[in-house]
Structure 1
């Protein structure tokens, strides 16, 4: 079983939380029109794999906090609670939704179109978690993520990642 990850843009956490119950299957479903504008990116976990793309784009070493993700759903557990309590607990089962930092969004948005083939190739070489080592295989995803980041920034919105097992 793989991890499903969808990246999407939204005006704020409230809009995301309002859609959580209505978006069974993720933010990119919803009949004829998806709930949010986004990109399917199976297995591109924000902390590690997307963080590696951000590291490549910034020409820095990968660190765990490069995407600057903040949990949106499930929300913070009640005080005194250490972790999941049962199999129906969303902390155990998901889905999980993370908001990415504005610097991460802007790093992706600022990637020039002419540089995407080189960035894709470097990302493929840098990430053991990806299913390919060929940058050309990743270029459509990099193009889609950078375009999404640009649309989010132009609209004053944040980028989010929906994660499901």
Structure 2
């Protein structure tokens, strides 16, 4: 079973952690409008292959969310290696590489977590030229996934690059809410 991921940008770990908060009657940081949720359910029913492709949504909070299936933040280490030339082991040792932001304690994990994305990857994505995205996706697919993932990764990479550019402009960091 693949994990579902919602990539987003915000100004601090504290704000990112609120993506898991539930307040009675109030939308959380990443809650989508009801009509978007309903449309997504219909899409999964009538065109499941299309529904699994990366999508960009705007949460009720105004936060831009890149939704994907199967591209969890641990997979981003290889992408960062490809984009920056930084050795894979060094990327994995980065204190922000897929670090648990929420919940605060491992024993509180209950189906959803928020993980950090490195600032180095955010910056590399922000400077990635659109003309290079397909080639990077191809290299990433062959290194981390399989060749069949290339098209989906190209779409994901385009959306994540846009999110990273916005994050740099706003001096935000990137995060991922993982649902499993």
Quickly name the TM-score band, shorter chain normalised. Answer: 0.7 to 0.9
* Match in the other structure for 1:29: 32
Higher mean C-alpha displacement, 65-74 vs 141-150: 65-74
More helix by share: 2
Name the counterpart of 1:16: 16
RMSD: 2.4
The aligned length equals 149
Contact 1:125/1:133, CA 8 A, preserved across alignment: no
Q: Which residue of 1 aligns with 2:167?
A: 152
Structure 2: 5+ residue stretches without partners = 36-57
What TM-score do the two structures reach when normalised by structure 2? 0.71
State the alpha-carbon separation in 2 of the partners of residues 59 and 19 from structure 1: 32
| 1:68 and 2:92 matched | no
State the secondary structure of the residue aligned to 2:158. Answer: helix
Structure 1 distance, partners of 2:72, 2:11, is: 22
Judged with a 3 Å threshold, the aligned counterparts in structure 2 of structure 1 residues 19 and 6 are, in CA distance, closer, same or farther, namely closer
- Determine which of 122, 125, 141 is the counterpart of 2:156: 141
TM-score when normalising by structure 1: 0.76
**What is the CA distance between 1:42 and its match in structure 2?**
1.1
What residue ranges of structure 1 are gaps of 5+ in the alignment?
78-82, 85-89
